[in-house]
Structure 1
Amino acid sequence: MDIGEKTARTAWTVLRAGGNEPAGLGIPTKASSVTTSNGVVRFALGQNGEARLLLPLGTAERGSIVQGAPALDVRISVFGTAGKSQRFLDLTCLQRDLDSVFAEVAGHILASIENGTRCLDAARASIAEFRALLVRPAGSDVSREQIAGLVGELLVLKRLLDRSPDAWKSWRGPAMARHDFMRANNSLEVKVCLGKGRTRITINGLEQLSEPAEGLLFLQHFELEAAEAAMLSVTGLGHAVLDAASEPDEVKVLLAAVGCHDIDDPLWNATSFRLERETLYAVADGFPRLVSSSFPGGNTPSGISDVTYTTDLAFAGSFRLDTSRTREVEDLFLP
């Protein structure tokens, strides 16, 4: 057993037994023997006793360059100590049965820092080395349609973030909201078709193409072609989004909500795409859709509780917006 791994195991055992070393951080911690120019690397526990490693950061260092995994939460945490705030790259193992793997990761990180590597680089390299042991359970899979759907939403999000680092707050789809992007009274739904010239999209429920009260609804349609080493991928767009967002940790939470705990996960990057065509529509009366008002009195027939249907955007030509209006629509979803 590596000395760093053994140190980590011992530290978490001591902390779980109540051996806290008060450091003014407000959480159970134990100092390691590794010190950086920004402070001491510390072992800690999460709210439910999860193994945790705190790597001190400078004020200008961005933790978004370090990606977690389904079993490893990575975020920036700020604690007050000695009358001032201290930023840490906060690594938490989310599965107790993977503590031994996390101890190895921690050992590698400590050894790397002792050899002069900065905390962010040490964490990124060590997590990458052990990523295969920290990913989802065997048997899990991600379909090409799921990957394409996320690529479509990330493409819209990246465009918004290029104009405002707070625009991630408009991304509401991961929170199971009615539409993918929402701000004030306006909404934007993103639909992706695999293959050029494909215009048939699946609509889930009677509300997905129903405009919000006193607001506008837009539909962004992408035609994506799967291609080897193409420009559009979850990892490429994911890193661009995290780099541009004002609060990348919050974006990571949204990504996790759609099942993507790690933007570098090979399963989420099994396919990359090129953009063949995109079309923006204004959804309003006359658009080919089913909504509650399509039924007499606005009521669905008795016994029907859910509706999934296909609509062909080839019949929505009169609702297509000129590309010159794209920026105008984007304005509606910026802070």
Structure 2
Amino acid sequence: MTTVDGSLLQSLWAAVAAQPATTAFRTTEVAVECARGPLLAAVDRSDRRALLVPILAKQTLVEELDGRAVVLRRRALEDEDSYRTYACLELVDPAQEDLFTALCVEVVDRVAAMPDRAVAALKKVLADWKALLAGAREALSPSALAGLFGELWVLRELLRHDPGAVAHWTGPERTAQDFHRGVDAIEVKTSVAAEGRKARINGSEQLDLVTPGRLVLRWFRLGTDAGVSVPELVDEIHDMTDDPPRFRKLLLDYGYQVREREIYARRRFEVLEHSAYEVGPGFPRIVRASFAGGAVPPGVTEVDYVIDLDSEAAAACRLDETALAEFMERR
């Protein structure tokens, strides 16, 4: 992993933007090298930001010039002593600056991990981000919005103890649990039902930790007549975190689109009830160890089930407020 984050990249772009615009690009080195040399943070004559990845002069590069937010093109930088060719990732839409920063952080990380295949790493990131860059997502459904509210509620709690806690929010990346913090994990479930305390579990891995850590299930009953909207919670978290670009990227991964803000703002949520459970051998669940051979039977592709949290087995695993607070404050 690299030590390059969004704040560092933004400071590098700000520094080169302050230089006189005497060349096509003003550049400075990013603290990562690939096989052809260092990556460069760059700003062009129009003050558009870019990330330059050095490539061979004869290397074929398929340009991507039709992006709404960013484009990829071949660029050459020449001075009295050298002539170098780069794969240039350029920001097109200034309104997507945070998105572009998060994209470049991931490119830098991928290149650092495979410096001999820098263009392949760059292309892989662009492929992963294609839907986000195109803005091709529908508005979140009411149930998805309630689920996002629950995860953001927990994220805000974590941020109160650690401004870098956005790094622990892994649910938007489709991990088994919504939060991973070292060997510990948190799974969040929400319900807008007026009665009953039930949680739908998606898959045999959701309540099963691979590592020997602690897994806590957070359950929320939400009211929808008053309270806080998801956009308001997003704004609050954005001001709390020390990595806003990563937070914005994770929101996009989840499917949250800023352009739908007015729609999302019309639905408000209020936490009416909350409980937390230590998930372990005594907790009611279906995991891989529940099956003969320690694996889901061949031919079974989905294992979805519902847990009654009022059951005796679940109630025995409930955490009191003190135990929950101690768990949430752990680093």
Please confirm whether the aligned pair reaches a TM-score higher than 0.5, indicating the same fold.
yes
* Structure 1 residues 154-196: Cα deviation after superposition (integer angstroms, max 9, x where no partner): 0000011011101111111111112111111111100001134
Question: Is 2:303 the counterpart of 1:288?
Answer: no
The counterpart of 1:145, out of the listed 140, 143, 146, is: 143
2:180 maps to a residue whose letter is M
Structure 1 residues 51, 210: closer, same or farther in 2, change over 3 A? closer
CA deviations over 1:86-118 (Å, ceiling 9, x no partner)? xxxxxxxxxxxxxxxxxxxxxxxxxxxxxxxxx
Cα distance in 1 for residues equivalent to 2:259 and 2:68: 23
Count how many residue pairs are aligned between Structure 1 and Structure 2: 230
Deviation at 1:52, TM superposition (A): 7.3
Q: Distance in 2 between matches of 1:318 and 1:300?
A: 27
The secondary structure found in structure 1 opposite 2:248 is helix
- 1:211 match: 209
Q: The residue matched to 2:45 in structure 1 has which SS?
A: strand
- Residue from 178, 181, 197 that aligns with 1:180: 178
Alignment of 1:29 onto 2:44: yes
CA gap of 1:199–1:166, structure 2 versus 1, over 3 A, is same
How far does residue 329 in structure 1 lie from its aligned partner after superposition? 1.0
Asked whether 1:272 is paired with 2:268, we answer yes
Q: How many percent of aligned residue pairs carry the same amino acid?
A: 29
TM-score by length of 1: 0.61
Aligned partners of 1:44, 1:325: CA distance in 2, in Å? 47
Q: Which residue of 2 aligns with 1:306?
A: 302
Q: Output one character per residue of 1:129-157: Cα deviation in whole Å (capped at 9) or x when no partner.
A: xxxxx9966x9332111110000000000
Counterpart of 1:155?
153
Q: Partner amino acid for 1:243?
A: D
In structure 1, stretches of 5+ residues that fail to align are 1-19, 32-41, 54-69, 78-133
- Counterpart of 1:168 (choices 162, 166, 169) is 166
Q: CA deviation at 1:288?
A: 1.6
Aligned equivalent of 2:89: none
Deviation of 1:23 (Å): 3.5
- Offset of residue 270 of structure 1: 3.6
Secondary structure, aligned partner of 2:282: coil
Aligned Cα RMSD in Å? 3.0
- State the alpha-carbon separation in 2 of the partners of residues 284 and 44 from structure 1: 49
SS of the residue 1:314 aligns to: coil
Q: Which letter maps to 1:201? A: A
What TM-score do the two structures reach when normalised by structure 2? 0.62
| Cα distance in 1, alignment partners of residues 94 and 220 from structure 2 | 32
Q: What is aligned with 1:73? A: 96
Provide closer, same or farther for how the CA distance between residues 43 and 201 of structure 1 changes in structure 2, counting only shifts above 3 A: same
